[in-house]
């Protein structure tokens, strides 16, 4: 959520920022709504002040009774009715305004390149040369089933298309990646959390998934709970409604969770094999930091994600997303894309973003600074990393002519020393 007071003060900046994002926002209507709400608030509150004074005056009269008491009560009742009516009006206006605010995206940082869509994203860095093979490298959807470590048909049998099963060394390799990722984060000072995979609608609103993107979420209707699309949701909301001790910032958390996404409308686009599925595992990094250091912290966090790809020996690149491609809640995003030799494409395995105070305002996450006053903090998060596409890249990059796959050295301790996955 944006800062309404800031919008009031400098509407031009917001107008431009939303325009750059391709969002059409009627700023004048918002400002008019805001003025109306504040006016109603002032009137309602002064009426309530009158009512409170009138009620207070009844106390001493109550014992005596008589006409004076009845008269005072009647007067207070009339005031009360008036206040109630006005308050209802105020509440409706306030709700309309706050509902509108929930649909407005976070303005991007000034440094974010202006652009329309993914085609305008800027390649910030490329790591590693394109791996060379003495044979034609296979795509994972051929390679992995042949090794008996991935089974698409059985996944579809259980839950429909978009669900995959891993078998034997495939399942174990996936678990190894998760463990190694988490251990790397712990070494970097992160605190690991295990969190619920189902959350309430209010929690989804805190990080920005609701109300606008509900069609992408799986919902348990009987219980009014939703399956998390990313650990960002439960982990960021761990501190919802809290006032943290500023001296403890930045807090660096990580968590491994499955992620559930309906991918409504994405059918057919890059969905072959395991590249886009409804359920996948991911390790997520989440930071709670200050406005002063959030931008620098984003670099640090992105470095942590990149180090994982380097450790696995996977060619990858870093994209700075343009305004038009930056996610709703984010002010600045870097995507990490890993090279898939089997398909000759880049696959997104991480998205590292600064949400500035957009999420903390929605979720009411504050910290007490040196001056003792509570202030909204900044939240960051980044994948570190998403499993399926890492698995794809590992298999395709480390595949051998005979169809076997060399296990990257860093993962071997997690696989009982296994050096090669064979049929």
Partner RNA sequence: GGAAGCGUGGCAGAGUGGUCUAAUGCACCGGUUUUGAAAACCGGCGUGCCCUAACGGGUACCGUGAGUUCGAAUCUCACCGCUUCCGCCA
Interface residues toward RNA, by CB under 7 A: 5, 38, 41-42, 45-46, 48-49, 51-56, 58-60, 62, 73, 76-77, 80, 243, 366, 368, 372-374
DSSP for residue 369? -
351 is catalytic: yes
Q: Which is nearer to RNA, 121 or 359 (CB)?
A: 359
The DSSP string of 94-149 is HHHHHHHHTTPPPPPPTTSPP-SSGGG-EEEEEESPPP--SS-PPPHHHHHHHHTS
- If we measure between CA atoms, which residue out of 117, 131, 133, 253 comes closest to residue 182? 253
Q: Which is nearer to RNA, 243 or 406 (CB)?
A: 243
DSSP for residue 399? B
Q: Which is nearer to RNA, 80 or 145 (CB)?
A: 80
User: Are the beta carbons of 249 and 262 closer than 8 angstroms?
Assistant: no
Q: How far is the CB of 44 from RNA (least distance, A)?
A: 7
As a whole number of angstroms, the distance between CA 164 and CA 132 comes to 29
Q: Which is nearer to RNA, 237 or 275 (CB)?
A: 237
* Chain centroid offset of residue 150 CA: 29
- Point out the catalytic residue in the list 90, 172, 261, 315: 261
Q: How far is the CB of 75 from RNA (least distance, A)?
A: 8
As a whole number of angstroms, the distance between CA 320 and CA 202 comes to 30
Q: Which is nearer to RNA, 45 or 142 (CB)?
A: 45
- Point out the catalytic residue in the list 351, 353, 360, 383: 351
Q: How far is the CB of 267 from RNA (least distance, A)?
A: 36
As a whole number of angstroms, the distance between CA 203 and CA 197 comes to 12
Residue found under tokens 């994002």: 21
Q: How far is the CB of 359 from RNA (least distance, A)?
A: 16
- Point out the catalytic residue in the list 45, 263, 348, 412: 348
Q: How far is the CB of 370 from RNA (least distance, A)?
A: 12
As a whole number of angstroms, the distance between CA 408 and CA 421 comes to 11
46 is catalytic: no
389 is catalytic: yes
261 is catalytic: yes
Neighbouring C-alpha atoms within 13 Å toward the C-beta of 46? 5
Active site residues: 261, 276, 348, 351, 389
């Amino acid at each position: 959520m944006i800062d309404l007071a800031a919008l009031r003060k400098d509407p031009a900046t917001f107008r431009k920022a939303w325009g750059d994002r391709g969002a059409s926002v009627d700023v004048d209507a918002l400002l008019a709504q805001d003025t109306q709400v504040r006016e109603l608030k002032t009137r309602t509150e002064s009426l309530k002040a009158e009512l409170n004074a009138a009620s207070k005056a009844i106390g001493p009269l109550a014992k005596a009774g008589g006409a004076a008491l009845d008269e005072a009560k009647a007067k207070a009742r009339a005031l009360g009715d008036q206040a109630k009516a006005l308050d209802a009006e105020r509440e409706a206006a306030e709700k309309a305004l706050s509902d509108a605010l929930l649909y407005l995206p976070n303005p991007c940082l000034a440094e974010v390149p202006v652009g329309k869509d993914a085609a305008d994203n800027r390649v910030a860095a490329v790591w590693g040369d394109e791996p060379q093979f003495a044979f034609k490298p296979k795509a994972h959807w051929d390679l992995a089933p042949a090794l008996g470590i991935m089974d698409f048909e059985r996944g579809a049998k259980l839950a429909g298309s978009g669900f995959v099963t891993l078998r034997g060394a495939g399942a174990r390799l996936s678990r190894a990646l998760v463990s190694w990722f988490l251990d790397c984060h712990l070494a970097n000072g992160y605190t690991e959390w295990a969190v619920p995979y189902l959350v309430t609608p209010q929690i989804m609103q805190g990080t920005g998934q609701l109300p606008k993107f509900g069609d992408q979420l799986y919902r348990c209707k009987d219980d009014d709970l939703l399956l998390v699309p990313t650990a960002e949701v439960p982990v960021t909301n761990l501190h919802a409604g809290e006032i943290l001790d500023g001296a403890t910032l930045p807090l660096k958390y990580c968590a491994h969770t499955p992620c559930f996404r309906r991918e409504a409308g994405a059918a057919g686009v890059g969905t072959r094999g395991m590249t886009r599925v409804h359920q996948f595992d991911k390790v997520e990094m989440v930071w709670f930091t200050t406005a002063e250091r959030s931008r620098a912290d984003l670099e640090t966090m992105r470095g942590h994600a990149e180090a994982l790809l380097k450790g696995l020996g996977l060619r990858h690149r870093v994209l700075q997303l343009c305004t038009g491609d930056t996610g709703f809640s984010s002010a600045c995003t870097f995507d990490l894309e890993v090279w898939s030799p089997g398909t000759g494409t880049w696959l997104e395995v991480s998205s590292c973003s600064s949400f500035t105070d957009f999420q903390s305002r929605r979720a009411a996450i504050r910290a007490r600074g040196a001056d003792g006053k509570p202030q909204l903090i900044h939240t960051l998060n980044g994948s570190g990393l998403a499993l399926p596409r890492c698995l794809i890249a590992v298999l395709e990059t480390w595949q051998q002519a005979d169809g076997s796959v060399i296990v990257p050295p860093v993962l071997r301790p997690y696989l009982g020393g296994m050096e090669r996955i064979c049929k």
